[in-house]
């Protein structure tokens, strides 16, 4: 899509609370201006979503590696280059190698040598992207390593990522220009 269906608003048209939220999350790096500018068309929804995103990103109990694997795989499966590119930047600090990152965008997870814990997260993202139920064996595998709040958080990270990917893809929100 060449032209966004709903063009992002320029920052000077954002409500002050949204500008404050973007400023408060500057540690998340660049690349969110068009996302925030698109969400600025609906300030109450933008604020609610951003608060959830902050909890999942900064107050969650899931390991950063698991969170980033889930986001990279979900964004690949849903064809959202906007989200994928942003989270490729977060991969190395999360302990993912360039080969790991590349393998999250492979049609077959078996082409890479994954640790079983990583593979369980990636398979979960695949099944949820396909709108499939998690088999009991996969759930039990996850439950061996993750506490109840982490299991819930993993599902919400994948679901929140899918929501953002679907929204950005449908609206044709462009990535930010290089700074």
Tens digits of per-residue pLDDT, 33-77? Answer: 899 899 999 999 998 998 899 899 889 999 999 999 999 999 999
**Predicted model pTM:** 0.93
pLDDT at position 18: 83
What Cα–Cα distance (Å) separates residue 133 from each residue in 43, 50, 126, 177?
Answer: 34, 28, 10, 38
Please, is 121 exposed, middle or buried when counting C-beta atoms within 10 Å of its C-beta (0-12, 13-18, 19+)? buried
What Cα–Cα distance (Å) separates residue 5 from each residue in 69, 171, 177?
Answer: 30, 5, 18
- Please state at what angle helix 148-171 crosses helix 136-145, rounded to 10 degrees: 110
C-beta of residue 23 within 8 angstroms of C-beta of residue 50: no
C-beta of residue 133 within 8 angstroms of C-beta of residue 127: yes
Q: Of the candidates 74, 138, 130, 148, which has an alpha carbon nearest to the alpha carbon of residue 104?
A: 74
The pLDDT tens digits for 3-28 are: 999 999 998 999 888 888 777 766 66
> pLDDT at residue 143 above 80?
yes
d(CA 178, CA 1): 19
Predicted confidence band of residue 1 (pLDDT cuts 50, 70, 90): low
Residues 6+ apart with CB under 8 A from 77: 125, 126, 129, 130
> pLDDT at residue 91 above 90?
yes
Q: Of the candidates 162, 146, 160, 149, which has an alpha carbon nearest to the alpha carbon of residue 59?
A: 149
């Amino acid at each position: 899509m060449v032209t966004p269906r709903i063009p992002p608003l320029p920052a000077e048209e954002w409500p002050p609370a949204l500008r404050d939220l973007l400023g408060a999350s500057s540690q998340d790096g660049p690349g969110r201006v068009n996302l925030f500018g698109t969400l600025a068309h609906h300030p109450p929804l933008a604020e609610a979503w951003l608060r959830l995103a902050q909890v999942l990103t900064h107050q969650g109990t899931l390991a950063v590696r698991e969170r980033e694997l889930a986001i990279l795989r979900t964004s690949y499966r849903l064809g959202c280059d906007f989200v994928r590119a942003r989270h490729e930047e977060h991969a190395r600090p999360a302990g993912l190698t360039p080969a790991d990152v590349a393998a999250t965008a492979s049609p077959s997870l078996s082409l890479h040598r994954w640790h079983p814990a990583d593979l369980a997260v990636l398979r979960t993202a695949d099944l949820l992207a396909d709108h499939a139920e998690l088999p009991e064996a996969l759930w039990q595998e996850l439950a061996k390593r993750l506490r109840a709040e982490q299991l819930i958080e993993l599902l919400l990270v994948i679901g929140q990522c899918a929501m953002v990917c679907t929204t950005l893809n449908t609206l044709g929100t462009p990535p930010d220009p290089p700074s």
